[in-house]
Amino acid sequence: MSPTAGPTPGPTPGPARGGRRWIAIVVGLLVGNAVAVAVLLAVAGGDTSRRVLPDYYGQAAAWDDVMAQQAASARLGWRCATRVDGRLLEVACHDAAGLPLAGVDVTVRALPRGRADEPVEVRLVEAGAGVHRAPLPGVRGGLHQLDLTVARGAERWTATRTVELTAAAPRAGT
């Protein structure tokens, strides 16, 4: 044996054999990414119950106005208690002295928490001294955000409440 001669190298693996494995890995990652994007698009564009509150940006932009209205409501000193019986909403309003507020307009915007795209607006009817009532239309039960507005002339009181409504009974024949 000569001092420079060494063991003869065996056959080396060709680039095609190891290259196919890496190509398969890259293709698998690309396909997995495409599937993930398709699933996210289907979820985001499907059921509207997963969407954010309507006009959320407009509400955020008007934050100073909301805070000013809350301060004006606090200065009035009016208080309103809400009571729900099934889908019948009752709002009892009193002034700062505890006397019933008569002759006011009471409106409510009910926003189902599970369906932000289905708000309901109702004007309540005066049923007694400071007590206003109205049934809330719709069939959906669950938690609802109530945006109350009580107005008398130029005076305006607002508040937000969260209540639980029962689902409306199904109509006969449906």
pLDDT-based confidence at residue 174 (cuts at 50, 70, 90): very low
Task: Name the CATH code of domain 56-165 (choices 2.60.40.10, 2.40.50.140, 3.40.640.10, 3.40.50.970).
Answer: 2.60.40.10
Is residue 170 pLDDT above 60, yes or no?
no
pLDDT-based confidence at residue 16 (cuts at 50, 70, 90): low
Q: What is the rounded average pLDDT of the residues 3-20? A: 62
**What pLDDT is attached to residue 81?**
93
Encode pLDDT of 38-57 as tens digits: 998 887 776 655 556 667 78
The whole-chain average pLDDT of the chain stands at 83
- The pTM (predicted TM-score) of the whole model is 0.65
Encode pLDDT of 53-93 as tens digits: 667 788 889 899 989 999 999 999 999 999 988 888 899 99
Are 50 and 40 contacting, i.e. CB atoms less than 8 angstroms apart?
A: no
Are 111 and 160 contacting, i.e. CB atoms less than 8 angstroms apart?
A: no
pLDDT greater at residue 107 or residue 52: 107
DSSP secondary structure letters along the chain:
--TT--PPP-PPPPHHHHHHHHHHHHHHHHHHHHHHHHHHHHHHHS-GGGSPPTTHHHHHHTHHHHHHHHHHHHHHT-EEEEEEETTEEEEEEE-TTS-B--S-EEEEEEEETT-TT--EEEEEEEEETTEEEEEPPSS--EEEEEEEEEEETTEEEEEEEEEEEPPPPPPTT-
Is residue 173 pLDDT above 60, yes or no?
no
**What pLDDT is attached to residue 86?**
82
